[in-house]
Structure 1
């Protein structure tokens, strides 16, 4: 087996092991919640016989390790069980919500990724200039502010004061694509402002690091213009760390949208997770948590693979 294939298989195996550990943590965390789940769902007026029958229906009478492997096996097969709040299949509840979360994350990524790379290239091209200093100040400010603060500022100015965009991002399947895009402008802008700062600064730092190497000096000695040196020579060789930070921020866009969805009442998986926690709908909480974890691990695994394939030194580690 070639070293590259061996390295890729190790990363995939480590990602699978990470998911198993996360699933154990999710299950144990739910098990450690105080109180009796059956009693909490049925209420204090429920008879002991009713509680016992409901516990048997939820398989709470089985040992924890048996329930864990049964839950994990059903999850892998796409069977998430039924919601305790309304009795509906969890797969149906999560499917539409997760599609909405992906739609919001993809829209923000389509804006943030090219914008951050462009700003990073320009900041490296005009290093230590007024433009570079302004961009650095703005991005550091964006990194320092929590998402909900940025969201409320945008709502206060663009929705309440100016009335340009809706403060609640309520979408449904009957809306056209343009109507959906209009409704999610503010949450999309919030996510874009947060992740652009990280990606832009990493792009700038990676390009500046490459600009100090010998082959860049040779390109300058040949009389190549600085823009050509940065775009065609420095940036392609800085792709590995840039790909990593882009993939990590894409993972954040999918997994870290919980706060943004709650602020804008967006019908995504994060909002469903928060609602299910308040209702003590444990099966939905477990399914949503593991779906978020799986998405995050897969995107990080994809980042590792792309970083290996784009870097000759990682392709031949020996």
Structure 2
């Protein structure tokens, strides 16, 4: 247990360092954007005096490193500042949007994870069969197309032609759960198609790699069926790489929903960050980017912890 706690502490320290570096990149990237924020807000008819006054109000006349450390300190205390576009507290904007994004990612994960594990186990169980080849071909095809292309195809078929699901996912905080599940089904399926292939192929590969191990040969010599060997002997030892790829794909679900949210006009963080970039609402862009980075880092940390708990030998690499 001490070794696990030490590993967790090391991963947390590395995660904090990574988050610090990412915050530097986010701030520097925003600083390097062309144009002046004050001029964008006031418009082309603004006089130099009004631009200078607004820059002072926004704190843009101070050195960049001072503004960075003030921004980082406020973020650490949970103060995201105010939106430049509508003067609302950014925490108010993020609350519902973050929940919507997490709901969509969780919806897709609930479909994708069991489906991927089932397809991967069956592909390993019936290796080189017609089923194995069909599943591999179908999953490779699904990840070969860009997400927006798959989304528009789904909209054209299921929303426009057949009218089974809405093309625009207009949900609010008051939307009932059953209605929310119905409206968000198409974007959830698009995300499922994107990540299922990676998880399915990793499950299949991890199990097949273990099938050549000596203890698997011993199980075969004992006369155990192939199904029992895979489910009771190979799968438990293949959990570490499977958990890793699942956690990484879940991280992608949260931070990679931007394109899907924009296509379906889904009111999540992805749509918010795109709208904020268009309006040059820099504080909102920075807050959303940092939340995405933090989510990715936390899910990677969770993947490391779960992998080691499922296979303690990883604590002592050779």
* Coarse TM-score class (shorter-chain normalised): over 0.9
CA-CA distance at 1:6 after TM superposition? 3.3
Aligned pairs for 1:19-168 (under 5 A) are 19-168=19-168
Q: Deviations over 1:210-258 (max 9, x none)?
A: 1110111111111111111111111110000000000000001100000
Q: Distance in 2 between matches of 1:234 and 1:137?
A: 24
Cα RMSD, aligned residues only: 1.2
- Unpaired runs of 5+ residues, structure 2, are none
Counterpart in the other structure of 2:174: 174
Counterpart check, 1:261 vs 2:261: yes
Q: Distance in 2 between matches of 1:160 and 1:44?
A: 41
| TM-score, structure 2 normalization | 0.97
Q: Distance in 2 between matches of 1:58 and 1:127?
A: 62
CA-CA distance at 1:311 after TM superposition? 1.6
| TM-score, structure 1 normalization | 0.97
Give the match's secondary structure for 1:317: coil
Q: Distance in 1 between matches of 2:35 and 2:149?
A: 34
CA-CA distance at 1:168 after TM superposition? 0.8
CA-CA distance at 1:174 after TM superposition? 2.1
Counterpart in the other structure of 2:280: 280
The more displaced of 3-12 and 278-287 is 3-12
- Tell me if structure 2 keeps the 8 A contact 1:309–1:315: no
Q: Deviations over 1:105-152 (max 9, x none)?
A: 001001100110011000000000000000000011112111111111
- Tell me if structure 1 keeps the 8 A contact 2:96–2:173: no
Q: Distance in 2 between matches of 1:11 and 1:283?
A: 29
CA-CA distance at 1:2 after TM superposition? 4.7
Q: Distance in 1 between matches of 2:104 and 2:250?
A: 11
Give the match's secondary structure for 1:83: coil
Q: Distance in 1 between matches of 2:90 and 2:164?
A: 36
Q: Distance in 1 between matches of 2:171 and 2:8?
A: 40
Q: Distance in 2 between matches of 1:13 and 1:78?
A: 20
- Tell me if structure 2 keeps the 8 A contact 1:121–1:204: yes
The more displaced of 258-267 and 165-174 is 165-174
CA-CA distance at 1:302 after TM superposition? 0.9
CA-CA distance at 1:268 after TM superposition? 0.4
Q: Distance in 1 between matches of 2:6 and 2:172?
A: 45
Q: Distance in 1 between matches of 2:184 and 2:261?
A: 10
- Tell me if structure 2 keeps the 8 A contact 1:247–1:300: yes
Q: Deviations over 1:240-291 (max 9, x none)?
A: 0000000000001100000000000000000000011011111110100111
Q: Distance in 1 between matches of 2:169 and 2:132?
A: 34
